[in-house]
Every structure is written in structure tokens, then in C-alpha cells.
Structure 1
Amino acid sequence: MNEREVIDWIQKRAPNFGNGVRVGIGDDCAVYRPTAGEELVFTTDFLIEGRHFTQPAYSPQDAGYQALARGLSDIAAMGATPRFALVSLAIPEVAFVKPFYAGLFGLARKYQVTIAGGDLSKSDRVHCDIVVAGSLPAGKAVLRSGARPGDYLYVSGPLGTWKKKPVPRLDLAERVRRDASACMDITDGLSMDLDRLLRASRVTCELTTPPPVRRGATLEDAWHHGEDYELLVASPKRLGKPFHEIGIVRKGRPGSPIPPKGWDHFR
């Protein structure tokens, strides 16, 4: 296929649920019409061959699925509902396109995400940059910086093992928006992301219970492994399942009592 044929193929098959998108694939820009009292949140993420995934350990379908799942996890952490995504893809061979988008489109349909545009190019290895937009009532976005002394700290599920097809916790977005004072998704290791949340909120914490550990992992993995795609939540409320309490927010020097040994791109 040439470039025009690839774009036509994508345009005919890209999920389109409306979601406020008036103009999608095929124009210079997507056009979104917000509703009264609505606020948009945006996230962007890379998926780079050799850095985030390798072939053949990942199929093109797996790569497409994860490219969107990473962004949807961020949307869930804000307490938002996903609306649309923009996908830019650079590939060595055009044969990668159809299975990649099959994986991405399947996940988009599951969560009713409109694919509103993007870009295509050729590269010596696969690079994907995805932008995901979500919406929520104005002023209700849940930030990392909202944790307060006395809040309880929770994780939304067991940690410690790599997930080829992570499940973004969009099932918890409404609950996060209602009950959380701060939230972020756990992608670089709990120790790293806990430190980030506490520093953003200018607090520290007392750790009371070890995090839950996935089968086949160790407690060390649960603290530092990353790629969990669960949520780290601070809340003034006692939360029930699926949340697991791990500590209490305290006044003190900002940061975590556990050294942050998770993933750092530049370390």
C-alpha cells in the first residue's frame, strides 16, 4: 500500500463514537466541541521499539494495544472519561500498520474512544506517539498534588509483574473523582510514583502495610518493578475493595520513606 491507501484504510476502520468530535481523520486538524461545564484533560506517551517493547516478544497487535492503554491509564488517574485519541506512527515496513491498528482499535472500541487523527511516517524502528483526551466536570480533575496529612494511601490492585496487555483502571475513574484527594497511575514502580505524589503534595507518609504482590512476583518487585498500570490513591476516606491500604499521609519533609528505585529513562 502507498501512503494514501494506508490513510484510507485507517479512516474507514477507525472507531468513531462522536464524543464531541465534529471533524476527525482526513482534515488538517480534528475539531472538538465541548459541552457546558466540561473540562478536558490531555496526556501524551511514547511507545518506542527497543525501549518500551521488542519484537517478536511483542506482536504488532500487542504494541498497538499498549500504545493506547498507556494513555487510558493516565486518563483514569485523573478521574476522567476518555473521549478521543490522536495517533502518530513511524514504522520500518507498511506491513506493520494493519495489525498494529487492529490492536489499538480493539481497545478503543472497548472504551468507546474515537480515533480522531494522527500522522504516519517511515523510520528504522517503530515509534508511536499517542495523545489521549478525556473529559470530566469542570474543576473535578484529580491531581497528584492534592494529598493532605491524615489521608489514607491506597493501591488499586496487586503489583510486581510486567503486563503485555495492561487493563487501564477506567472502571475506577468515577470513584477516584468522588473519593480521592490525589491520584496517579503506577507505571515506573510504586516506590518512584509514591515519591512523586508525595513531593507534588509537599508531604511525606507513614507506611503501615506492604503493597499486595501479584503471583510470581516478590515484594521487591511490587515496590520497584513498574508497568503495573494500577492506581495510587490518597483519600480522606476509608476505601473498600479493590483498594488496598498501604499507609497514611503525614506532615514532614516531602517524599517517600522508601528510596525511589523504579524506572528512570535517564538513569
Structure 2
Amino acid sequence: MTEFGLIEQISKMFATIPANGFEGIGDDCAVLPIGDEESLVFTADMLAEGVHFLRRATSPEELGRKSLAVNLSDVASMGARPVATLLSLAIPRDLPQGWIERFMEGYRDLSTQHGVALIGGDTTASDSGLIVNVTAIGRTQSQHLKRRSDARPGDLIAVSGPLGESGAGLRDILNGQYDTPLAHIHRNPTPQVAEGIWLGSRPEVRAMMDISDGIASDLRHIMERSGVGAEVEIRQIPTSVDIETAATAGEDYQLLLTIAPTKADTLLKEFEACFHKPLIPIGRITAGNRLEWLDHGTPLDVEWQGFRHY
């Protein structure tokens, strides 16, 4: 069973239980309206040693920052401002003295950068490696929320930065090359928090999510939720690595969004003026149900898939 097959099965098991005001499974965060104009968003991510990181290839400070960064990315992708987190740790007995303190220093540094409070959590022992679980909470105007289900045919598809470098960095790490520039990028993701909040305030931005499993998977999530197709011009994908890695590798934590076509030029110019970097168009949403990869407008006979958790 795939990850999303399991999620769908679990969702059906709980479908008869009242949602108590929550808008649940299907986006990067669950949503809870508070009052008439504001909403809270909630997300959780788990990092398991040997699956999401190698302790020998990652400093405690890096892992602390990354554990928080991947959750802040989910909140930002909804157009929300992160405000608080809960942190739970399953700690193996072989951790060196001071390792957890250094992990917490990294977690605190990124928390301080974004003004995010640590409000609770849990600790326990582990006989199977270090496990980190973070729950993040965000807050925004309800009208600023961005969902995967709002893409429309004709929308421009754009990304907020280069793709594939983290995946190439993971490849370096698995090959024992821990100190390459790409390995550093993999261990030190930058959540697009300010960009997500800004894009959330723009009504011409329709669907949005973060890129954690590669656009070959993540764009399909938008397609499925919105009932649309998509075409991507591979020569427009921003990357310093090979195109297949850029399309399929995970953990970039850039933003993937669709933009109403009549307002796209203005949005692109204002984004660059605000953040001093471009928002990069890579394709368009179509009325079909397929994801097509184009090379100078010519369809490619490829079936690229993004990262699969199991």
C-alpha cells in the first residue's frame, strides 16, 4: 500500500466521527476556523533515524533546525504564519553527552528567527534510533488560506526556487560524501515562511503547497484535489542538477503554486521586488487529468514519479 492509499483508508475509517469544526485531511495542514475571520492551521511531521537522516552525516544543530523547518514549510504553504510548536523525542541510549542540548540549540535558533514558541511535547526512550516528531500551529486570516483544491485550467504553475538540489545532496550523503555543497543544502532546508505569508495574502494565488516529495508527486496532489491536469516545460524548471532529479527528488521545501493567468505578470514582478528573487513559471494547469512533461512544447514519453515513502 502506498502512503496516500494508507491515508485514504484511515480517512474513511474516521469519516463517521464528527469533525468538530476542523477541515481535515487533504492539505498540508488541518484548518480550524476561530471566529468569523481567522483560522488556525495544524500540521505534524516525523523524522526517523535511518529513514529521514543519518546521525553520522548530520550535526545535532542541523537536525534540530531541519526538524522545525519541514513543519514551518507546511504552515507557510497554507498562507499562514507559524506561531507555536510541540516537540516529541524518542531518544536512543547511545546518544553522546550533550547531543540533545545541541539539537535543541538548532531548534531554538530557527524558532527565534521566526518567532515561534515551543509550548509542549514529550520525551521517551527508544531502542531503534532517534525519532523526532513536531506539531506546528499557524494562524492567518481565513480568506488568505491556500488549498490544493483551488487550481483552475489556465492557471500558471510556478515555484519559489531551485529544485532537485536537496535530492542530489541526499545522493551525495548516501555515497559517503557528507561535505559537498549539495549535501549541505539537503541537511539545511530553508522554509519559505515570509514568501508563503505574502503569497497567502494575494487572491490571484489559487492553489499552493510545499515541495517535499518532488513536483512529479506534489503537482499530482494539486491535480487530484482540483480535478485538473497540468503540463510542465522541463526547460523552465530551475535547477543546477539533472532535470529528472529536479522533477522527482524530494525535500526541496520550495513553494508550488498556481496563479490566475490575468494577474500572473503583476504578481511575478511584485514578488521579485519584495524578495529580490524570481518566482519561476514552469507550466500551466489544463482541463485534462494528466501530467505532461514538455521539452520546448514537445510531449516527452516519460512517467516520472516523485519520492515514495514506502
TM tier, smaller: 0.7 to 0.9
The 1-side partners of 2:236 and 2:253 are apart by 14
On the 8 A contact 1:149/1:250 being kept in 2, the answer is yes
The AA in structure 2 aligned to 1:256 is L
Residue of structure 1 equivalent to 2:164:
160
- What is the DSSP-based 3-state SS (H/G/I as helix, E as strand, rest coil) of the residue aligned with 1:142? coil
2:137 is aligned with 1:133? yes
Farther-moved stretch of structure 1 (103-112 vs 87-96): 87-96
| Distance of 2:234 and 2:92 partners within structure 1 | 47
d(CA) in 1 for partners of 2:247 and 2:232?
Answer: 12
Residues 61-81 of structure 1 show CA distances to partners (whole Å, capped at 9, x for unaligned) of 111111100000101100100
Residue 149 (structure 2) aligns with = 145
Contact 1:85 1:132 in 2 (8 A): yes
TM-score (norm 1): 0.82
8 Å CA contact 2:78, 2:209 repeated in 1: yes
Cα deviations across residues 133-190 of structure 1 (Å, max 9, x unaligned)? Answer: 0000124310011000111100111111112111100121233211310001001111
Q: Which residue of the partner structure matches residue 224 of structure 1? A: 248
How big is the shift at 1:36? Answer: 6.9
Where does structure 1 lack aligned partners over 5 or more consecutive residues? 1-33
Q: Distance in 2 between matches of 1:106 and 1:211?
A: 35
Contact 1:180–1:234 (CA under 8 A) maintained in structure 2: yes
Which residue does 1:74 correspond to in 2?
A: 74
Q: Could you tell me whether the CA contact under 8 Å between 1:186 and 1:228 is conserved in 2?
A: yes
Q: Secondary structure at the match of 2:76?
A: helix
Question: Partner of 1:201 in structure 2?
Answer: 226
| Structure 1 pair 35–203 and aligned structure 2 pair: CA distance change class (3 A) | closer
- Measured against aligned partners, the alpha-carbon deviations of 1:229-257 in whole angstroms (never above 9, x if no partner) come to 1011001031424211111111112x422
Is the alpha carbon distance of 1:211 and 1:122 closer, same or farther for their aligned partners in structure 2, counting shifts above 3 Å? Answer: farther
Query: Deviation string for 1:113-142 (max 9, x for gaps)?
Result: 000000001102100110000000124310
Specify whether residues 36 and 110 from structure 1 end up closer, same or farther in structure 2 by C-alpha distance, changes over 3 A only.
Answer: farther
Q: Aligned pair in 2 of structure 1 residues 212, 260: CA closer, same or farther (>3 Å)?
A: closer
Any residues of structure 2 matched to 1:66-105 within 5 Å, and which?
Answer: 66-93=66-93, 95=97, 96-105=99-108
Provide the TM-score with structure 2 as the length reference. 0.71
Alignment equivalent of 1:214, drawn from 239, 253, 261: 239
Match of 1:42 in 2: 42
Cα contact 1:159–1:214 (8 A) shared by 2: yes
Counting matched residue pairs gives 231
2:143 & 2:107 partners in 1: Cα distance?
30
What is the CA-CA distance between 1:221 and the residue it aligns to? Answer: 1.2
